Amino acid sequence: MRKLHIMVHGTDFGFPLLYAGGFHNRTTAIRLGTHSHGEGVELTYVLKGNTGWQLEDDARSLLLQPGGTLSMVQPNVPHCGEQNVIRPCWLFWFIVDCRIDAEKAATGTPFSVREVMNLREILQKAGNCTVPVDSHFAFYVHRLIAALSDTSGNPWKEAEVRNLFSLVMMNCARFFSANSNRLDKDDFARRAAAYMQGRIGKRYRVGEAARECRVSPTAFCKRFKRETGQTPADYFQRLRLTEACRQIARERISLTEIAYRLGFSSSQHFSRVFKQYFGLSPREYRRIALGGTQKQS
Amino acid sequence: MRKLHIMVHGTDFGFPLLYAGGFHNRTTAIRLGTHSHGEGVELTYVLKGNTGWQLEDDARSLLLQPGGTLSMVQPNVPHCGEQNVIRPCWLFWFIVDCRIDAEKAATGTPFSVREVMNLREILQKAGNCTVPVDSHFAFYVHRLIAALSDTSGNPWKEAEVRNLFSLVMMNCARFFSANSNRLDKDDFARRAAAYMQGRIGKRYRVGEAARECRVSPTAFCKRFKRETGQTPADYFQRLRLTEACRQIARERISLTEIAYRLGFSSSQHFSRVFKQYFGLSPREYRRIALGGTQKQS
């Protein structure tokens, strides 16, 4: 895919339910500091690569977002890239307007006024969270990006964008309505995350984690995967690397010291894993996080 | 896919632009005699297998419709299955309402009133014809059939059906607007078809056909494929077999005699080719065409 950087407003093509939306496929990391959107809920979908949001006032503090999941941040919730950095990735995002009245919001959509109200209610009720999506969703998003970047003078471009955006939003409502039911159920995820967090710099043990969560080790692994979309090992690795980001960005200690604190066998090993995971080295990360710019790759 | 037989009206789910639509995946042939639709243009898409329409008052008399193409029949044009038979196939069809006013027709769609007027105008201007489609179209149709047959109580079912039907219609307008430009250009297809028609029962010769159409043999084959979606050899075979259908259904002569008249080397060879092509034997075809029923396969 050629380099793309798209941003549109729904009102540009008769679709006020969309406050704004966009896409970029950057091969370099960028700074994105704390900000919030008063206009509505923001949905973000990573088509390729990895990135994440950090929320200011949320217990979980980070919306994990490995490639292929969908995350949502509620109106007026301050958030930023992980340690103010958006990693190189293919990022699609849009904001569903939650201020304008439902009748106006239904303009240019196939939705009834009632359906628009339901859609916005489901999104707002689900809170700040991340859900897995299906392959059909990925297809619609790809088609939508193709329509948005179409410069052939296609007379159906605007209608196609409205149509595909509606389809994408409707599918988001479906995914999040399934999710919001699940999140209310119990505190398994919270306990598991707390245990993992306490083990950073040491090793985590599945048996111990399972006891902490009052389930068998087999049930722990299965349920962990279902609830977070990741295996415990992947999750733990990510947690360590996220903590590495935090220390790189905030503390003026050497990268070797950070590698040691987080239980990596050497600074070379740390660098290799970090680069594999984030697409840039700890050194480059420090430069960007502290306000420098990254060389074009 | 499980056996499906779906038929809906657009007014059932707040989508009056759709007069009616449906899908079936039959494994047996059925009779479908001459009829017409006053409500609007009928679009038909074969997902799997082959079938075709015969038009009463059209020079080309048959809309070829091999799997993967889209055909259209204008309002009030009498048509039937080939020799009154619809072969076993996966058939998706719908009728775009051309009577109701555009403002009403835009209800439940992402289209503006202007866009609905354009859409209907393009479809009516393109006449009775067949166009190739792209793989995205196939995906949308598959998703639409899945939505139509969804019995899970999904609260978004109606919105999804409206959304996907709109997307399908919009893509039809794109395909047919490209097509209508092409058809006006010249009479290549007419000349080629007339030559082929005159050779039934004999052999056709590419060199001769090319001279008839005033192009080189290479250009003839290339252009023929582009305009009809088939090679000259496939087209000729289909023409012979269609003529076979006509004779089987209308004349009380033996199948052996028909095989001989149409230049097949033996009645066994004729039967084998016929069955391969139509999914039923000449004998079964005669029974259905003359008003009998086919055994369930």
pLDDT tens profile A58-114: 545 566 666 677 889 999 988 988 778 888 889 999 999 999 999 999 999 999 999
pLDDT of residue B38: 94
- Residues on chain A touching B139 (C-beta within 8 angstroms): 139
pLDDT band, residue A188 (cuts 50/70/90): confident
- Residues on chain A touching B167 (C-beta within 8 angstroms): 160, 163-164, 167
- Residue-wise DSSP of A11-71: GGGT-TTEEEEEEEE-SS-EE--SB--SSEEEEEEEEEEB--EEETT-TT-EE--BTTEEE
Q: In this complex, do A110 and B108 lie within 8 Å of one another by their Cβ atoms?
A: yes
CA nearest to B112 within chain A: A108
Q: Which domains does chain A have, with CATH numbers?
A: 5-183 (2.60.120.10), 188-289 (1.10.10.60)
Can you read off the two tokens belonging to residue A52? 């994440």
Q: In this complex, do B14 and A163 lie within 8 Å of one another by their Cβ atoms?
A: no
* Closest in B14, B110, B173 to A166, CB measured: B110
- Residues on chain A touching B14 (C-beta within 8 angstroms): 112
Q: In this complex, do A110 and B166 lie within 8 Å of one another by their Cβ atoms?
A: yes
Residues B258-289 have pLDDT tens digits of 999 898 989 999 999 888 877 778 888 888 77
* Closest in A110, A139, A156 to B163, CB measured: A110
* Closest in B15, B110, B160 to A109, CB measured: B110
Residue A183 has pLDDT above 50, yes or no: no
Site of tokens 């034997």: B281
**How far is it, in rounded angstroms, from Cα B290 to Cα B282?**
12
Mean per-residue pLDDT for A282-293? 77
Q: In this complex, do B136 and A159 lie within 8 Å of one another by their Cβ atoms?
A: no
Residue B293 has pLDDT above 60, yes or no: no
Dihedral of the CA atoms A153, A159, A164, A165 (nearest 10)?
110
Can you read off the two tokens belonging to residue B140? 């949308």
Q: Which of A159, A111, A162, A143 is nearest to B122 (CA)?
A: A159
Whole-complex ipTM: 0.71
Residue B294 has pLDDT above 50, yes or no: no
Which range, of A91-95, A105-109, B20-24, B216-220, averages the lowest pLDDT? Answer: B216-220
Residues A21-37 have pLDDT tens digits of 999 998 888 888 889 99
The 10 Å Cβ neighbour count of residue B222 is 12
Residues B60-86 have pLDDT tens digits of 556 666 667 788 999 998 898 877 888
Interface test with A, best of B18, B119, B167, B172 (most A CBs within 10 A): B167
| A253 residue type, one letter | I
More confident residue, A18 or A3: A18
Residues B91-121 have pLDDT tens digits of 999 999 999 999 999 999 999 999 999 999 9
pLDDT of residue B233: 87
What residues of A are in the B interface, CB distance below 8 Å? Answer: 14-15, 108-112, 115, 118, 136, 139, 143, 154-156, 159-160, 162-164, 166-167, 170, 173-174
Provide the percentage of residues in chain B whose pLDDT is more than 70: 90
